[in-house]
Structure 1
Amino acid sequence: MLPTWESFEEKSRMADGRIVLVTGATDGIGLRTALDIARTGARLVVHGRSPARVDKARKTIEEAGGRAEGITFDFASLASVRQGAEELARRFPRLDVLVNNAGVYMNERVVTEDGQETTFQVNHLGPFLLTNLLLKGTLTGPGARIINVSSIAHSRGRMSFEDPQLARGFSPYGAYAQSKLANILFTFELAERLPAEQATVNCLHPGVVSTKLLTEGFGMQGNDTVEEAAATSVYLATSPEVEGVTGRYFVRQREASPAPQAQDTGARRRLWELSEQLCSLR
């Protein structure tokens, strides 16, 4: 049974003024996540690609009694991600929580300005770069948290290290599943490299809900509500029950075991090195 809002508010120790960035927060699960975290007293930073949609999401949170500011950048451009990280550092003294929620499902293979397949870049490389840039200053303890929104689709994913851009044999679902597997591999490797006192990092499967990504990408309907889909992100962002917990995968606010390929230590290290190279972080 999912917790009620009252139980979230009773359990959360999030003090007023804590700053939380939710990416992809202009609609669907991201907007619901931002709204529900705002209910705990946090100060929200809502991210999106469109200034108009970011402003609309910000106003929605404020009309519900929350506090929110907006930021606009595009994960399909690594230069834009860098500019976004710089702007965040200028505007905010710190970030306490980062929810990497933004994601896409591409029905065709499209290459970004950086020469990367769009699904892989938006769902993995962009969040990888943003997280690492923020960890250099703005996003750091005590109690800082990173939450990566993955998917049960990771269980059918395979990392194509020889062809991560899927130039040969592209399929929409294969690209999406690979990117969601990458989310978990990234989470586990970052947790290994990052002291929990500096920040914790966890990932999750939100459920299957009829968002734009699911209906337009997969052509199907989900059985979960958007509130249910957001609940695990909210839990990981706010609950004292996961204070100090790092390097775990959650489903419906409970720790779960991901697919075997997500637990491959060699693959996660190889992905980290590849991601550093593609993002020019070395």
Structure 2
Amino acid sequence: MSDALIVLVTGATAGIGLQTATDLARLGVQVIVHGRSQEKVDQARRAIEQEGGSTSGVVFELSSLASIRRGAEDLARRFPRLDVLVNNAGVFMNERELSEDGFEMTFHVNHLAPFLLTNLLLQGPLKGPGARIVNVSSIAHSRGRMRFEDLQLTRGFQGYAAYAQSKLANILFTFELAERLPAEQVTANCLHPGVVSTKLLVEGFGMEGSDTVEEGAETSVFLATSEDVTGVTGRYFARKREVNPAPQALDVSARKQLWEISEKLSGLR
């Protein structure tokens, strides 16, 4: 393996994730394509390699804490170094469903999964110096609030409320992570990708997006590779520019409370 950047993109078999992986590969990055099934990972890898890119693949289920742990172990075994983690995968659930661990699915896949995966990889190949964590959030965070009294939304579940809470959690997690990591070793930033007509948007929100999938991938690629953000950490971006998140994303006590709860729920502590 060359000295090319090694980047893991979760949820890289379709939509913005596949476009992000493809664009990174075009830049000469060694891309690790993550997906839920070997078939979809192989299909995505073939598509990227037809563009001349270099890829590897990893298969694990984000809705299972045990599967995430196996995936992290697999990655640590195969890759002595990981330069960038792009936590791109996400779901929108119209009905309340539980993961195999008993958590509301949106909260599990969109927040707990990247929380656990990131922390496990930080104990292994994602150690820097100069490593980067890129978390894909959404403008939907601005309508979210952390329901600490009922994070699993057992009462009056609404798909949008669950999604908005999970996207707010992405930002709170990013900012707390940045606070805990020395910036010269590992940086952590998050972003709004735009409003893109992905399966998530069409099926979850019942709407078409105004941005192309290429535009949706741009900010993730920028944060993963650009020298302009070397050493920059704990920031929120849109259209490759730093912007201010909603006020609730700046709540330091919520940030710390979410971290402690997430450690317990994910079994990290």
Q: What is the TM-score with the length of structure 1 in the denominator?
A: 0.94
Q: Is the 8 A contact 1:16 1:42 kept in 2?
A: no
Quote the Cα distance in structure 1 between the aligned partners of 2:78 and 2:210.
Answer: 39
Which residue identity is paired with 1:263? Answer: L
Q: 5+ unaligned residues in a row in structure 1: which ranges?
A: 1-14
- Is 1:147 equivalent to 2:95 in the alignment? no
User: 3-state DSSP class of the match of 2:172?
Assistant: helix
Match of 2:189 among 190, 198, 202: 202
Number of residue-to-residue matches in the alignment:
268
Q: CA deviation at 1:162?
A: 1.1
Q: Residue 260 in 1 paired to residue 243 in 2?
A: no
- Give secondary structure in 2 for the equivalent of 1:241: helix
Post-superposition offset of 1:201: 0.3
Identity of aligned residues (%): 73
The corresponding residue for 1:11 is none
* Structure 2: 5+ residue stretches without partners: none
Provide, for residues 69-98 of structure 1, a one-character-per-residue CA deviation record: whole Å limited to 9, x for no partner: 111101100000000000000111110000
**Equivalent in the alignment of 2:203:** 216
1:277 corresponds to: 264
The residue that corresponds to 1:84 in the other structure is: 71
User: What SS class does the counterpart of residue 236 from structure 1 fall into?
Assistant: helix
> Aligned with 1:220: secondary structure?
coil
Shift, 1:244, TM fit: 0.3
Structure 1 position 16, deviation (Å): 4.6
Counterpart Cα distance in 2 of 1:158 and 1:142:
34
Q: Could you list the per-position Cα deviations for residues 97-147 of structure 1 after superposition, in whole angstroms to 9, with x for gaps in the alignment?
A: 000000000010001111100000000000000000000121011110000
TM-score for the superposition, normalised by structure 2: 0.99
Indicate whether 1:166 and 2:153 are aligned: yes
Task: Please state whether the residue corresponding to 1:227 is helix, strand or coil.
Answer: helix
Alpha-carbon distance in structure 2 between the residues aligned to 1:201 and 1:239: 14
Contact 1:206 1:251 in 2 (8 A): yes
Task: Provide the C-alpha distance between the structure 2 equivalents of 1:114 and 1:99, rounded to a whole number of angstroms.
Answer: 24
Distance 2:185 2:139 in 1: 28
The aligned counterpart of 2:88 is 101
1:32 Cα offset (Å): 0.3
SS at match of 1:262: helix
- Give the drift of 1:167: 0.4
Structure 1 residues 181-260: aligned runs within 5 Å: 181-260=168-247
Quote the offset at 1:50 in angstroms.
1.4
Letter in 2 for 1:39: R
CA contact (8 A) 1:16 1:41 kept: no
Segments of 4+ moved more than 3 angstroms: none
User: Which residue in the other structure is 2:36 paired with?
Assistant: 49
1:156 equivalenced with 2:143 (yes/no) = yes
Structure 1 residue 17, shift from structure 2 partner? 2.3
Counterpart of 2:61 in structure 1 is 74
Partner of 2:17: 30
